Amino acid sequence: MNPRLSPTPGFRSRACFTKSHPSGFTLIELLTVIAIIGILAAIIIPTVGRVRETAKASACASNLRQLAAACLLYANENKDRLMPIQGKDSDDQQVTWRKLVEPYIGSRRAGNSILICPGDPIRSYPVSSATGEWPASYGLNPASEFLSQATLLGYAGSQSKTFSAINQPSRFIMLADIGKSSGGGGTDPSTWVDGRNDQSPNYGYARFPWGGAFNLEWSVWPRHGGNKKANAAFYDGHVAALDLIEDLKKHPDGDPLCLFDNH
């Protein structure tokens, strides 16, 4: 039998002499972590911004889809007549389409939310239930009144045309994002400034580049796609994001590819 081993006198475990190190980061480790966080932030923050912009554009498209459906219901109940920019309400008052559309979108409160684009930075507008100058980010194509830009006036005043008069509903804009341009007459939408204020109401129309001219008051407004695109609803009910230069300015009235004139 082997004798039981016993510790050598004076021997101590090596662990007894191990020095303890303070926990925490060294300066190099801390700087590395900060650098990594900075890189991640540079990647994530723009992505979050794009996601937010996409969500706003989607909500705007939903608004326009509901408004287009409401305008088509109006036509269905009014002998095929398109929603006019201005018309008479049940009290025989002159109002804009924003007042006329109210019965088809549920309520005044619903109308206020549907008529405002989530991407619209302007949140305060003139409001008058009598004239229908409601808060709104969208305008109706005045060609619904005339169906020809050659006879188009600054704002509508005649009876609207019938739906059956539209040649290509899927290629004829009904509603679109609008804004009031201020300063200069440039053609690059990214340089435009929204010049709206509480004293400058919009009466319900959306201006398009008739004759190739743009930057007019209450023009179709590029608040989506990096300030290059505007959402628009067509007379077949679909909604599309349009590039103001490629889809609109380059194809004015008279062009076979024009989307805002009946042809």
Residue 213: predicted pLDDT: 64
Among residues 65, 67, 235, the alpha carbon closest in space to that of 165 is found at: 235
Going from the C-alpha of 50 to that of each of 56, 118, 129, 176, 239, the distances in angstroms are: 10, 14, 36, 22, 20
pLDDT-derived band at 243 (thresholds 50, 70, 90) equals very high
AA letter at 253:
D
Among residues 142, 139, 133, the alpha carbon closest in space to that of 82 is found at: 142
Distance of CA 90 to the CA centre of its chain: 32
**pTM, rounded to two decimals:** 0.73
What is d(CA 106, CA 126) in angstroms, rounded to the nearest whole number? 22
Residue 241: predicted pLDDT: 96
Instruction: List residues bridging with 229 in a β-sheet.
Output: 224, 243
Rg of the chain over CA atoms, in angstroms?
31
> Residue 33: left (phi > 0), alpha (psi -120 to 50), or beta?
alpha
pLDDT-derived band at 40 (thresholds 50, 70, 90) equals confident
Among residues 169, 175, 170, the alpha carbon closest in space to that of 62 is found at: 175
For residues 122-133, b (16+ Cβ closer than 10 Å) or e, as one string?
beebeeeeebbb
Mean of the per-residue pLDDT values of the chain: 75
